[in-house]
């Protein structure tokens, strides 16, 4: 019944993963940034997203998306049966990836168009 859901997810998730990990030189920009906490660097510090936190979140998101891809393919192969909780779990991973991409794109647009 939900075969289209799984086949669409199997196509969309790898594209999102590529967009998240290799989008517009994200990793190069991140490497060049200091990203110290605001309390340590009041002028150029960040509120929460220090490099160690960005590293953990990006790796966690990568694991979530890759796991979702794997589970989706396994369901399509018929090794796991469809269920509502499984669809909810996969949609949760998709939403996590989409929200991350939205935040990253928004921050890039704002920083690129900021008038200093």
Please state the pTM of the whole predicted model: 0.82
pLDDT band, very low/low/confident/very high, at 1 (cuts 50, 70, 90): low
Q: Is the pLDDT of residue 73 over 90?
A: yes
114 domain residue, yes or no:
no
Q: What is the mean pLDDT of the chain?
A: 85
Whether the CB-CB separation of 61 and 93 falls below 8 Å is answered with: no
State the residue range of the domain holding 70. 3-108
Averaged pLDDT for residues 65-76: 95
104 domain residue, yes or no:
yes
- Distance (Å, rounded) from C-alpha 42 to C-alpha 30? 19
pLDDT, residue 71, reads 96
Tally the C-alpha atoms within 13 A of residue 47's C-alpha that lie toward its C-beta.
0
Q: Is the pLDDT of residue 21 over 90?
A: no
Using alpha carbons only, give the angle 116, 108, 33 rounded to the nearest 5 degrees: 80
- Distance (Å, rounded) from C-alpha 71 to C-alpha 13? 11
115 domain residue, yes or no:
no
3-state secondary structure of 37: strand
56 domain residue, yes or no:
yes
Q: How many domains are contained in the chain?
A: 1
Whether the CB-CB separation of 9 and 90 falls below 8 Å is answered with: yes
């Amino acid at each position: 019944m939900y075969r289209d859901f799984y086949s669409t997810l199997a196509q969309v998730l790898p594209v999102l993963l590529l967009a998240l990990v290799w989008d517009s030189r994200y990793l190069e920009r991140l490497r060049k940034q200091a990203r110290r906490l605001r309390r340590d660097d009041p002028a150029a510090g960040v509120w929460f997203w220090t490099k160690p936190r960005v590293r953990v979140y990006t790796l966690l998101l990568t694991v979530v998306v890759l796991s979702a891809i794997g589970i989706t393919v396994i369901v399509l192969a018929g090794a796991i049966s469809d269920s509502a909780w499984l669809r909810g779990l996969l949609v949760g991973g998709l939403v996590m990836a989409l929200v991350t991409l939205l935040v990253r794109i928004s921050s890039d647009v704002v920083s690129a168009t900021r008038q200093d």
